[in-house]
Structure 1
Amino acid sequence: MEDIKTEMQNALATLKRGGLILYPTDTVWGIGCDATNAEAVEKVYKLKKRHESQALICLVSDYKMLNQFVEDVPEVAYDILKFAKKPTTIIYDDPIRVAENLIADDNSLAIRVSKDKFSNDLAKRFRKPIVSTSANISGEKTPGSFAEISPEILEGVDYVVNLQKNKKSAKPSAIIKLSNDGKVKVIRK
């Protein structure tokens, strides 16, 4: 029997020591780490064989946490998130207090307020954003289920959250870019 409390403690301990976790999110299985730890973020890029110019997404637990890591959250972001029918990631300008290598070249960062109970509770208890990038090598197909995750990814993380039976496959989030100048651009529907 899977023990969610134990999984939460093990995932938190791994994040706190700068390790990588494989965990269920509100979308697909994700590779996660402490979004404020540049060395941990570097490990994610290496595991995914992804260039640092390809930014990663972070999960936060709520609007309060979102405001702690973005200089100025545009008001429209709250309306978009309130009315979104599916998990929605927003790319914000001027992120603060996160690892430099997580910030895109245009000084933006993609952040999603997680609605999934486990990943939301994890971010809330960790009290910092958690990187959340699909559990695949860059350029390869996003795994639709835990069973589709490659051995290279499974062996490359420090801890696999054992909640496979609870996680149904889902689609990646919608992505919207909100610029401080008021421009809104849909990146992925």
Structure 2
Amino acid sequence: MTCVLWPVAYNQSWKQILPLIRALIIILPVGGTWNLWISRVYPIPEYGGLALSYTRNVHWAALSLFQSIYILTALGFTVVCTTVTLYKMLVLPERLKAAEKSLCFTSISISITFLLVAATQILWVTCCDSDWLFAIQFLAFDTFTVGSAVIVIAINKQLRTSISPWNASNNRTKSILVSVAPG
């Protein structure tokens, strides 16, 4: 979003807040998982996969509560950034709109995966404790985890052609080597 808002000055603004962001990257995961570290963790086979469950040592500190807080905070940031990006895209000159279109589609797609995870997490925490929601929550988290990479690869043509082996064979030049035999 910063590259859309301040195309010239965003690099300088990121240099200023980078130390704070590095500290948050180290501290924030501990905020949601500290009770998991001190609790008994055991595996549960679910739907052909594996889930980890735990017996809480601190009963008020549910992991799903912390996940919900983090996901809703990230969802808020993502919705704000997507909205600002869409607004700025509308007011950009036409030549820049084409360049920023993939950024816009990526931002919207990632926002949708956030919404999917946030919706299942809110339903799980507040009202619905059922098997179908448990299965949907696995799919939502898989979409969230893998979806961002898939979205970026699907939207960015240069990245897609550089990593796909089936396109590499099409890009080779066809040539014939002709040599003259002495006679």
TM-score range with shorter-chain normalisation? under 0.3
Looking at secondary structure, tell me which structure has more strand per residue: 1
The answer to which structure, 1 or 2, has the higher relative contact order (CA under 8 A, 6+ apart) is 1
- Give the number of the structure whose alpha-carbon radius of gyration is greater: 2
Looking at secondary structure, tell me which structure has more helix per residue: 2
Q: TM-score, normalised by structure 2?
A: 0.26
